[in-house]
Amino acid sequence: MTQGQHIDGVLLQWGDRLFYPGNRIVHTRPQPKLSALAARQRAAAIRERIEATVVRRAPQVMVKVTGGGRGMKAIAAHFRYISKNGRLDIEDDRGDTSRGKSALQGLADDWRYGGTFIDDLGDRREAYNIMLSMPRGTDPLAVQRAAREFAKVELADHKYVMALHDHQANPHVHISVRAESRHGKRLNPRKADLHRWRETFAGKLRDQGIEAEATRQATRGRDKNYDTLWRLKARQDGRLRTTRPGSKATAAAQATRAQAVEAWMHVGKALATSGDADDRKLAGAIAAFIKEMPITQAAIPHRATPEVAPQLRPIDLVPQR
């Protein structure tokens, strides 16, 4: 095995853990090995994601499920909210755009009767509200086009409507999707789905020429707890006084972050031994990136887990000359 093949092998093994956690599945049968060409291409894709994360610090997409209606009354209210009571264009899954209160009523009737009947009030969630967002300064129309392509892929066979909000700090698109598909299958997004949704949205933004990444918090060494939209609104209205911890401090969260640091160190040490100057430069960027992580500054020196050997230090990633 050549040095280049060894480095690519490390990127495939540990880069997958950083950027494609869903691939870490235990199979009962041996999986087919990638061809040499496929391995090089995948290693190149992982290098690109590493550069985007640690060198260019590409903006991170945000995809959140902000709630959902259990009856047509709540669903129609969300239609009014995302369209600013009919003042903004609202686009449906067929690509048709409409505006005005009468159009909103038509959409509500279509959802109420188009499939299993949705009563005004109910016990079952009949819709999910999703928000796709990018940081300030991103082209709002590119965000809208990317959201449209995202919905075609991830929400196919479901009724959905969307509206662009570009009047606030961060351009974002609100999507309301009917939980029941046209074939009777129900949407039930879980954590793995949300991560895939972020990946899809980031890819659609890149297709629009917008640099975007969907890297997990653990991969970036972050541990922030974000308040849900209902908590933010309830606190603003004075209906909620309790606050969530600012960081994820559970043992599982700490272990996940520690495992990410371990993966970064393996990748960085491999790149530091490369004969390619760009690889060695990337190893230096990884070392700087690890040093910035809160977990490196606080947790690792004092509470190294069995998976993260104490002797693995960012200084080990200094490029070899």
Pair 104, 81 in one domain: yes
Residue 301, pLDDT > 60, answer no
- Please indicate, yes or no, if residue 121 is contained in any of the structural domains: yes
Q: Residues 145-186: pLDDT tens digits?
A: 999 999 999 999 999 999 999 987 899 999 999 999 999 999
Which pLDDT value is given to residue 309?
Answer: 34
Query: Is residue 65 classed exposed, middle or buried when 0-12, 13-18 and 19+ CB atoms within 10 A define those classes?
Result: middle
Give the Cα separation of 263 and 220 in Å (integer).
Answer: 12
In a domain, 240, yes or no: no
Are 163 and 188 members of one domain? yes
Per-residue pLDDT reduced to its tens digit, 172-226: 999 999 999 999 999 999 888 999 999 999 999 999 999 999 988 888 877 654 5
**Cβ-count burial of 55 within 10 angstroms (0-12 exposed, 13-18 middle, 19+ buried)?**
middle
Domain boundary among 174, 207, 240: 207
Q: Give the C-alpha separation, 143 to 151, whole Å.
A: 12
| Whether pLDDT at 268 is above 80 | yes
* Gap between the Cα atoms of 220 and 241, Å rounded: 30
CATH number of residue 70's parent domain: 3.30.930.30
136 shares its domain with 171: yes
Q: Of 161 and 303, which is predicted with more confidence?
A: 161
For residue 73, the surrounding DSSP H or E stretch is helix 72-82
Domain count, the chain: 2
In this predicted model, what pLDDT tens digit does every residue of 28-81 receive, in sequence order? Answer: 444 456 788 888 899 999 999 999 999 999 999 999 999 999 999 999 999 999
**Domain around 67:** 62-207
- Looking at the structure, do residues 44 and 69 belong to the same domain, yes or no? no
Domain boundary among 148, 175, 207: 207
Residues 71 and 34 in one domain: no
CA dist 71 and 60 (Å) reads 33
Report DSSP letters for 76-131, one per residue: HHHHHHHTTTTTS-EEETTS-EE-SHHHHHHHHHHHHHSSS---SS-SS--EEEEE
**21 and 54 belong to one structural domain:** yes
Confidence (pLDDT) at 192 = 85
Percent of the chain clearing pLDDT 90 (strictly above): 62
* Torsion angle (degrees, nearest 10) of CA 43, 49, 54, 56: 130
Helix, strand counts (H, E) of the chain: 11, 6
